[in-house]
């Protein structure tokens, strides 16, 4: 890609956001969040003082969770540092704008030479952490011009990416702007070597392993979830799309002894109603908390619940499916699973985060689209993950795991063992920063 085509891309992106904003809430937030963005940044940055500034950039929420262990480790090592966190996507900013581990949380202004200079002038970073991807040419070029140490965290590379294509010279130059690239796998390091990037590349692993281990080792208790599950077998289905739910609904509808917790990837009203249409005996978490919460919390061992007539669809039995209609609970929910199902594997984009479930030592089931997600492939290879292709296969796998204790134990142990064998990426990167004195020079 030439710089001319890059400018065309940026112009089309901005125009596209404005065109869809009237009926797309995410696009509206993207625009609203960037109104007078430099005024907001200037006002906040002038207020505070302190040590060296660390700037971490994330595309969205997933990348933030990936970089979070490193950010919090650096804060512990240098409590006087000033932390600036930036997001490109509203889904990241809106969820973490009040994150107390950062001194400032901003939207990243759309890339341009002028914006990059203004942003860096105001933030004055001494160290920059760029998590996984979301490469922006002018920001990276400006950081290199100013000799500001810039580290790629948990990068992952595939041969089909623009860096390795004939038209990828602009993308390759962006990689050359990094002081050091920490990649997840040896395969990524080998690919970068074909571009002549060897001296400043290290295999650190994926910091997401450290993040999920930290969550699992200090899990939050959820009494209302415990009340719903009781002593029944539980399937927690996280980050699901309609294609996933169509593979699960028959099993839930025909197995009243199973408790199924569905956490859809999107929780707009229309989407929640789609889930309710599929699962005949269901209740939303907000309704459960409002109508049954107090009683359930007091009677965790009760044999039945008394719910109002509107709480679930009638049919001679109470709800065995709980629909999570909020964001932020999923990583904690998996601790209650007997079996975990991770969504996305029946869609074009592929499976979502399998590590959040595997860390608790749960068999993890997902759809077949996993080739771009090394952790899902490796989890399957080690015996902790199970790929299904249909609703019939889902039912067969669930029944097999629930009725065969030895197979269940082996799968669960493999799942947990895989995650713990991969811990340590955060410590490797933090050690590099200390040894190179990137926060003291």
Q: How confident is the model at residue 328 (pLDDT cuts 50, 70, 90)?
A: confident
The CATH number linked to 110 is 3.40.50.11720
429 and 284: one domain? no
The mean pLDDT of 363-370, rounded to a whole number, is 97
Residue 331 resides in a domain? yes
Q: How are beta strands 234-240 and 282-284 bridged, if at all?
A: unpaired
Kindly state whether residues 189 and 281 are assigned to the same domain: no
Q: Is 429 found in the same domain as 415? A: no
Question: Other C-beta atoms within 10 Å of 191: how many?
Answer: 20
Residues 19 and 168 in one domain: yes
pLDDT reported for residue 439: 87
168 and 299, same domain (yes or no)? no
Both 240 and 128 in a single domain? Answer: no
Distance CA 18, CA 161 (A): 28
Average pLDDT over residues 268-278: 94
Q: Does residue 419 have a pLDDT over 70?
A: yes
Which tokens belong to 64?
């933030």
Note whether 294 and 403 are same-domain residues: yes
Residues 6+ positions from 423 with CB-CB distance below 8 Å: 209, 210, 213
269, 262 contact by CB (below 8 A):
no
Same domain, 415 and 428: no
- CA dist 371 → 38, 338, 340 (Å): 40, 26, 20
Q: How many domains does the structure of the chain reveal? A: 2
Give the mean pLDDT of 237-253.
Answer: 97
9 inside domain: yes
Buried b (16+ CB within 10 A) or exposed e, 278-289: bbbbbbbbebbb
- The encoded tokens of residue 349 equal 């984009």
Q: What is the rounded CA–CA span in Å between residue 434 and residue 68?
A: 18
* pLDDT at position 318: 85
Q: Are residues 85 and 131 in the same domain?
A: yes
Asked, for residue 213, whether it belongs to a domain, the answer is no
Whether residue 211 lies inside any domain: the answer is no
**Domain presence at residue 441:** no
* One domain, residues 185 and 244: no
CATH of the domain at 359: 3.40.50.2000
Q: Is the pLDDT reported for residue 101 higher than 50?
A: yes
In a domain, 212, yes or no: no
Residues 156 and 32 grouped into a single domain: yes
- How big is the CA angle at 15 (ends 11 and 16), to the nearest 5 degrees? 115
Tokens 């292709």: give the residue.
Answer: 389
Rounded to whole angstroms, the Cα distance separating 403 from 421 reads 28
For residue 176, give both structure tokens: 């050359």
First to last CA, the chain: 36
Q: What is the mean pLDDT of residues 21-37?
A: 94
What percent helix, strand, coil does the chain show, rounded to 5? 50, 15, 35
- pLDDT tens for 117-152 read 999 999 999 999 999 999 999 999 999 999 999 999
Identify which of 110, 63, 54, 42 has the alpha carbon closest to the alpha carbon of residue 85.
Answer: 54
- Strands (E) across 24-126 are located at 53-58, 82-87, 104-107
**pTM of the entire predicted model:** 0.86
Is residue 304 over pLDDT 90?
no
Q: What confidence tier does 300 reach under pLDDT thresholds 50, 70, 90?
A: very low
- In terms of residues, how long is the chain? 441
Residue range of the domain that includes 241: 220-421
Whether 187 is covered by a domain: the verdict is yes
Q: Are residues 8 and 118 in the same domain?
A: yes
Dig out the tokens for 103 from the structure: 């001194």
What is the average pLDDT value for the chain, to the nearest integer? 92
Instruction: Specify the pLDDT at position 163.
Output: 95
Question: Does residue 431 belong to any structural domain of this protein?
Answer: yes
């Amino acid at each position: 890609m030439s710089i001319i085509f890059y400018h065309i891309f940026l112009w089309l992106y901005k125009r596209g956001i404005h065109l869809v904003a009237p009926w797309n809430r995410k696009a509206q937030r993207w625009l609203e969040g960037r109104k007078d963005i430099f005024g907001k940044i200037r006002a906040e940055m002038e207020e505070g003082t302190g040590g060296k500034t660390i700037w971490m950039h994330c595309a969205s929420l997933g990348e933030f969770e990936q970089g979070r262990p490193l950010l919090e480790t650096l804060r512990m090592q240098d409590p006087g540092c000033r932390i600036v966190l930036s997001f490109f996507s509203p889904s990241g900013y809106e969820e973490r704008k009040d994150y107390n581990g950062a001194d400032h949380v901003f939207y990243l202004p759309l890339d341009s030479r002028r914006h990059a200079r203004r942003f860096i002038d105001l933030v004055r970073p001494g160290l920059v952490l760029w998590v996984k991807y979301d490469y922006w040419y002018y920001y990276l070029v400006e950081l290199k011009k100013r000799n500001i140490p810039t580290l790629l965290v948990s990068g992952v590379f595939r041969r089909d990416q623009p860096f390795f294509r004939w038209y990828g010279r602009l993308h390759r130059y962006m990689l050359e702007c990094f002081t050091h690239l920490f990649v997840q796998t040896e395969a990524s390091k080998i690919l970068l070597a074909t571009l002549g990037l060897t001296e400043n590349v290290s295999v650190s692993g994926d910091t997401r392993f450290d993040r999920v281990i930290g969550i699992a080792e200090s899990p939050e208790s959820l009494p209302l979830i415990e009340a719903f599950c009781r002593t029944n077998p539980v399937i927690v289905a996280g980050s699901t799309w309609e294609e996933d739910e169509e593979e699960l609904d028959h099993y839930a509808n025909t197995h009243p002894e199973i408790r199924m917790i569905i956490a859809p990837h999107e929780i707009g009203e229309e989407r929640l109603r789609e889930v309710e249409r599929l699962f005949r005996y269901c209740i939303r978490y907000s309704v459960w908390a409002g109508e049954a919460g107090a009683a359930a919390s007091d009677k965790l061992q009760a044999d039945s619940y008394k719910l109002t007539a509107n709480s679930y669809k009638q049919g001679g039995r109470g709800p065995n499916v709980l629909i999570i209609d909020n964001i932020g609970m999923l990583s904690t929910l998996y601790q209650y699973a007997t079996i975990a199902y991770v969504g996305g594997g029946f869609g074009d984009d592929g499976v979502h985060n399998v590590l959040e479930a595997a860390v608790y030592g749960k068999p993890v089931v997902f759809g077949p689209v996993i080739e771009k997600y090394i952790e899902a492939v490796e989890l399957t290879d080690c015996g902790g993950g199970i790929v299904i292709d249909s609703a019939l296969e889902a039912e067969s796998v669930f029944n097999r795991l629930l009725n065969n204790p030895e197979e269940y134990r082996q799968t669960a142990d493999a799942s947990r063992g895989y995650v713990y064998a991969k811990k340590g990426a955060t410590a490797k990167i933090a050690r590099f920063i200390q040894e190179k004195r990137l926060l003291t020079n």
